[in-house]
A and B are shown apart, each in its own frame.
Chain A
Amino acid sequence: MMAPTSSPTDVGILSFGAYVPRKRLQRSAIYAANAWFAPGLKGLAKGERSVGDWDEDSITMAVEAARDTLTGIDRASVGSLSLASTTLPYVDRLNSGIVKEALTLSDGVAALDMTGSQRAGVSALRAALEAASGRTAPHLCLAAEMRKTCPASDLELTSGDAAAGLLIGQGDVIAKFLGAYSLTLDFVDHYRTPGMDYDYFYEARWIREEGYVALTARALKEGIAALGIEPSSIDRLLVPISAKGIAATLAKKAGIAEAAVADTLQAGLGEAGSAHGLVMLVAALESAKPGEKILLLGFGQGADLILLETTDAITRLAPRDGVAGSLARGAKDENYMRWLVHRGLVDIDKGMRAEQDQKQPSTSLWRHRKAVMGLVGGRCTKTGTVQFPKSDISVNPNDRTAGTQEDYPLAELPARVMTVTADSLSYSPSPPLYYGMVDFDGGGRMTVEFADVAEEIEVGSEMRMVFRIKAVDEMRGMVKYFWKAAPVR
């Protein structure tokens, strides 16, 4: 069959990206700690699940996925963005706005947070695809999830932390949007209110029979009819439901080939909540050939279906990390206790050094938002000296120019370690606190914390900047973000 090319009016996916945190907590370690209470979890205790570090959350993961998505793309061209998640740090402070600052997108962009159900990511994608023909610039559709799960629950074992991104627009799309279908039904398999720490689930057998199978099968049946799909033509069926055998059952009922059922990524990642549909979509796209029909499902108080078809433009897409690249950079972790402390589920004696007041004056953050959130420094237009942060008077001792610096983003530049130490005295949620000075390619230098440290860091080590939580003002509930340097792997 001839691979479809895209036409200028085609709406679809222009680019994609993903981010899975490095640490892979072994499910056996979780089970070993909880087996005394819940021996029945043994069946779920295989493989590993991704867990964000203490300084990661849905926003930081979304930023990393967005950077991956925007590989080779001019950031100034992005016209709008959305962030879907049920675990956003702020209920009222535009979370996608924080992502916008970190990415140094134009001030003149539209931004929207999307939440409320486990299909928020897929719903956001449907909305973006349908709005694309009315937009004049591409839309960055992001989803991220870092679920808080109760110890000894099923969800603790089956969840994983991750984020995904898709750039949606018109023109040279790598996958065309062929249509969507939705059912909305208040099927309360589980719920969570703002005051609750954990989701409250009803009986798994009922959820499976009436929800995952019955409700979703109805959505598939009606959607396939509405969109005029020939079931046997579906090359990939993406069902982001971790319960065993669901996707295969649905495929059979709908007449979709068994071979089309996509891996749910349970073994090496876990189910990333409302982001998982988009995570699975990215995993599919990164290995897809032109001309593949992909049917993506979202489940959460109803269902969304999105039909896509890859084009030959997918072969021309620049390489990026995606899901595969992130998964390949995993680090085995068996410290269940540390993870519980990092997620705030268990107390630990932090010592007096942790008492430091972390108050963040909004006025100061506003003045320095580009430096703090975007790692934007200054470049002297007269001498070319790069520095962080910008200042009225240039740091260059040879030419004390004043007022000549233009904004100069540093986050995407490679950096090299100039000094390093591992500080066991300073308070850190994950001691020791690694930090030092780095020099950026082309100029610019800063003292910065090092993240994702596993092996020895030496003077000269190559680093890349990552967006992370700097500190939490526990007294006032504010999360403070900044950039850190992580070893290039």
Chain B
Amino acid sequence: MARGIKDKVAILGMGCSRFGERWDMDADNLMVEAFDEAMADAGIDVSQIDAAWMGVGFDAMNIGPSGLPLSIALRLPNIGVTKVENYCASGTESFRGAVYAVASGAADIALAVGVEKLKDTGYGGLPVRSRGTTFDMLGVTGSAPGNFAQVASAYRAAHNVSKEDLKRAIAHVSVKSHANGAKNPKAHLRKVVDMETVLNAPMIAEPLGLYDCCGVSDGAAVAIVTTPEIARALGKTDLVTVKALQIAASNGWELQHAGGWNGSYFHPTRIAAKRAYDEAGITSPRDQLSLTEVHDCFSITELVTMEDLFLSDEGQAWKDVLNGDFDADGRIPCQIDGGLKCFGHPIGASGLRMIYENYLQLLGRAGDRQRKTPPSLALSHNLGGMPSQNVSAIAIVGLADV
């Protein structure tokens, strides 16, 4: 019976480009920006990298197919380069490739890169694209806000929450993230925003308004991973190790089995969370987790994810959010770096950007954003698809000796 990879892999270095409307940068330029930082942090030479993974969500619309763009942009030494895509969970998916390569013994040092150049699309929001010939005939081509907004109607019906209460709760999520992002020089959006502005913003997809939706931006993030032994041999003392890495994918149950899923939560997130806590040896996440970075593509997603990660009781997250439980000074800060809300969502990069913040926080390197109580375990949750069919990827990283 496989026991997981807890403490088998350490993060040697990480980098993250500035996220935003990088009009003067291509995907390659962004990868180099993040890679340079990661390499300086790792203190190694490129010849020491054994294998690489690249996560991109919309390759047809920016970088093109295959792993070649990564190999060419970074002039990697003819090593294996694997392109991965799992919708918006592509960032964690590339991390998974690199981590498993090291955990299996197939590679000593592996590279994970996530990148997306979205601002050549020509309009706001994610580019419209086919989801397959059959889906295009039988499914609804909705926007991301529209697909996720449906959770709100179902959550209200399931837990008897009024329109006004839920609207205030999701607004609080965005106000909190903006307050955090204002302290982050790499974030795209750095302005504080108040409740009234969020509540009265134009509607995008009922009930999500402008400030309930993360923006679209360009960015890249990089992780270099190795074994704890190699990391120490290279001179690293404080180690951040991977405690758990779990992905769960929908199989059509939510989408097709009437009377099953009630639309108000993310089924694979609950499954991935349980598996991740088991793998990491976490028995009480509410007590043991210091920080979370979750997939706040939309404020409602972050809110229900608190329940899906078992950090709030079912139907209670809206109250916990309003109570400040997940604010920067709350019991378990969520998106202490500003989240997708302030960074925007360059699809392939987001999962790695989440791990980047968790990594910095664990090493005490987060500057103005540093969590007051020193963190020991941090979770990132990276979700691809839509509420009715999705891939939920959870990574838990922590100090090596925890």
Q: Which residues of A line the B interface, CB within 8 A?
A: 351-353, 355-357, 360-361, 364-365, 368, 371-372, 385-389, 391, 395-397, 418-427, 432-433, 435-437, 439-440, 443-449, 458-460, 470, 480, 482
Q: Tell me if B402 is interfacial: C-beta within 8 Å of chain A.
A: no
Q: Contact check, A352 vs B123: say whether CB atoms are below 8 A apart.
A: yes
Can you identify 13 A-B contacts, CB atoms within 8 angstroms? Answer: A355-B128, A372-B137, A385-B257, A396-B257, A419-B153, A419-B263, A419-B387, A421-B147, A425-B125, A437-B388, A444-B256, A446-B138, A482-B138
Q: Tell me if B130 is interfacial: C-beta within 8 Å of chain A.
A: yes
Which residues on the A side are within 8 Å of B133 (C-beta)? 361, 364
Return A398 CB to nearest CB of chain B, in Å. Answer: 10
Give the residue name and chain of the A residue nearest to B262 (CB): A418
Give the residue name and chain of the B residue nearest to A375 (CB): B138
CA distance A444 to B387 in the complex (A): 18
Give the residue name and chain of the B residue nearest to A460 (CB): B157
Q: Tell me if B146 is interfacial: C-beta within 8 Å of chain A.
A: yes
Q: Contact check, A443 vs B259: say whether CB atoms are below 8 A apart.
A: yes
CA distance A357 to B60 in the complex (A): 14
Which residues on the B side are within 8 Å of A436 (C-beta)? 150, 153
CA distance A417 to B255 in the complex (A): 13
Q: Contact check, A421 vs B259: say whether CB atoms are below 8 A apart.
A: no
Which residues on the B side are within 8 Å of A395 (C-beta)? 251-253, 255-257
Give the residue name and chain of the A residue nearest to B257 (CB): A395
Question: Pick the contact of B150 from A356, A357, A419, A449 — CB < 8 Å?
Answer: A419
Question: Pick the contact of A424 from B138, B156, B205, B387 — CB < 8 Å?
Answer: B205
Give the most central of A365, A368, A443, A447: most B CB within 10 Å.
A447
Give the residue name and chain of the B residue nearest to A395 (CB): B256
Which residues on the B side are within 8 Å of A420 (C-beta)? 150, 153
Give the residue name and chain of the B residue nearest to A373 (CB): B137
Which residues on the B side are within 8 Å of A446 (C-beta)? 138, 255-256
Return B367 CB to nearest CB of chain A, in Å. Answer: 35
Which residues on the B side are within 8 Å of A470 (C-beta)? 137
CA distance A100 to B145 in the complex (A): 37
CA distance A154 to B146 in the complex (A): 42
Return A54 CB to nearest CB of chain B, in Å. Answer: 16
Return A55 CB to nearest CB of chain B, in Å. Answer: 13
CA distance A437 to B257 in the complex (A): 11
Question: Pick the contact of A426 from B143, B157, B260 — CB < 8 Å?
Answer: B143
Give the residue name and chain of the B residue nearest to A427 (CB): B128
Q: Tell me if B233 is interfacial: C-beta within 8 Å of chain A.
A: no
CA distance A353 to B152 in the complex (A): 25
Q: Contact check, A440 vs B258: say whether CB atoms are below 8 A apart.
A: yes
Give the residue name and chain of the B residue nearest to A459 (CB): B157
Q: Tell me if B140 is interfacial: C-beta within 8 Å of chain A.
A: yes
Question: Pick the contact of B263 from A357, A418, A423, A480 — CB < 8 Å?
Answer: A418
Which residues on the A side are within 8 Å of B154 (C-beta)? 418-419, 459
CA distance A396 to B134 in the complex (A): 21
Give the residue name and chain of the B residue nearest to A443 (CB): B258
Given A388-B256, A420-B153, A459-B153, 14 further pairs, Cβ under 8 A? A355-B128, A364-B137, A391-B252, A397-B260, A421-B153, A421-B205, A423-B142, A424-B205, A426-B143, A432-B205, A447-B255, A447-B388, A448-B140, A458-B157
CA distance A397 to B123 in the complex (A): 41
Q: Tell me if B206 is interfacial: C-beta within 8 Å of chain A.
A: yes
A351-B123, A443-B259, A444-B258 in contact; A424/B134 too (CB < 8 A)? no
A-B contact count (CB 8 A): 138
Q: Contact check, B252 vs A423: say whether CB atoms are below 8 A apart.
A: no
Which residues on the A side are within 8 Å of B387 (C-beta)? 419
Give the most central of B136, B151, B260: most A CB within 10 Å.
B136
Return A43 CB to nearest CB of chain B, in Å. Answer: 43
Which residues on the B side are within 8 Å of A444 (C-beta)? 256, 258
CA distance A448 to B255 in the complex (A): 11
Q: Contact check, B256 vs A445: say whether CB atoms are below 8 A apart.
A: yes
Q: Contact check, B142 vs A433: say whether CB atoms are below 8 A apart.
A: yes
Q: Contact check, A397 vs B142: say whether CB atoms are below 8 A apart.
A: no
Q: Which residues of B line the A interface, CB within 8 A?
A: 122-123, 125, 128-130, 133-134, 136-143, 145-147, 149-154, 156-157, 203-206, 251-253, 255-260, 262-263, 387-388
A435-B140, A447-B388 in contact; A423/B258 too (CB < 8 A)? no
Question: Pick the contact of A480 from B134, B137, B147, B149 — CB < 8 Å?
Answer: B137
Q: Contact check, A371 vs B138: say whether CB atoms are below 8 A apart.
A: yes
Return A416 CB to nearest CB of chain B, in Å. Answer: 9
CA distance A355 to B130 in the complex (A): 12
CA distance A385 to B251 in the complex (A): 16
Which residues on the A side are within 8 Å of B137 (C-beta)? 360, 364-365, 368, 371-372, 470, 480, 482
Q: Contact check, B128 vs A439: say whether CB atoms are below 8 A apart.
A: no
Return A246 CB to nearest CB of chain B, in Å. Answer: 46
Which residues on the A side are within 8 Å of B145 (C-beta)? 423, 425
Which residues on the B side are within 8 Å of A357 (C-beta)? 130
CA distance A15 to B238 in the complex (A): 83
Return B154 CB to nearest CB of chain A, in Å. Answer: 5
CA distance A447 to B150 in the complex (A): 11
Q: Contact check, B258 vs A368: say whether CB atoms are below 8 A apart.
A: no
- Closest 4 interchain pairs by CB? A423-B146, A419-B150, A459-B157, A421-B149
Which residues on the A side are within 8 Å of B149 (C-beta)? 421, 423
A419-B263, A423-B143, A445-B257 in contact; A389/B138 too (CB < 8 A)? yes
Give the residue name and chain of the B residue nearest to A388 (CB): B256
CA distance A480 to B136 in the complex (A): 10
Question: Pick the contact of B258 from A352, A439, A458, A460 — CB < 8 Å?
Answer: A439
CA distance A444 to B258 in the complex (A): 5
Q: Contact check, A447 vs B153: say whether CB atoms are below 8 A apart.
A: no
Give the residue name and chain of the B residue nearest to A377 (CB): B256
Which residues on the B side are within 8 Å of A351 (C-beta)? 123
Give the residue name and chain of the A residue nearest to B263 (CB): A419
A418-B262, A419-B150, A437-B388 in contact; A397/B122 too (CB < 8 A)? no
Which residues on the A side are within 8 Å of B151 (C-beta)? 419
Q: Contact check, A424 vs B204: say whether CB atoms are below 8 A apart.
A: yes
A353-B128, A444-B258 in contact; A421/B134 too (CB < 8 A)? no
Q: Contact check, B146 vs A435: say whether CB atoms are below 8 A apart.
A: yes
Q: Contact check, A353 vs B123: say whether CB atoms are below 8 A apart.
A: yes
A419-B150, A447-B139, A447-B388 in contact; A459/B156 too (CB < 8 A)? yes
Give the residue name and chain of the A residue nearest to B123 (CB): A352
Return B253 CB to nearest CB of chain A, in Å. Answer: 6
Give the residue name and chain of the A residue nearest to B154 (CB): A419
Q: Contact check, B256 vs A397: say whether CB atoms are below 8 A apart.
A: no
A388-B256, A443-B258 in contact; A372/B138 too (CB < 8 A)? yes
Give the most central of B128, B253, B388: most A CB within 10 Å.
B128
Q: Contact check, B140 vs A421: say whether CB atoms are below 8 A apart.
A: no
Give the residue name and chain of the A residue nearest to B126 (CB): A425
CA distance A388 to B141 in the complex (A): 17
Which residues on the A side are within 8 Å of B150 (C-beta)? 419-421, 436-437
Which residues on the B side are within 8 Å of A387 (C-beta)? 256-257
Return A174 CB to nearest CB of chain B, in Å. Answer: 38
Which residues on the B side are within 8 Å of A435 (C-beta)? 140, 142, 146
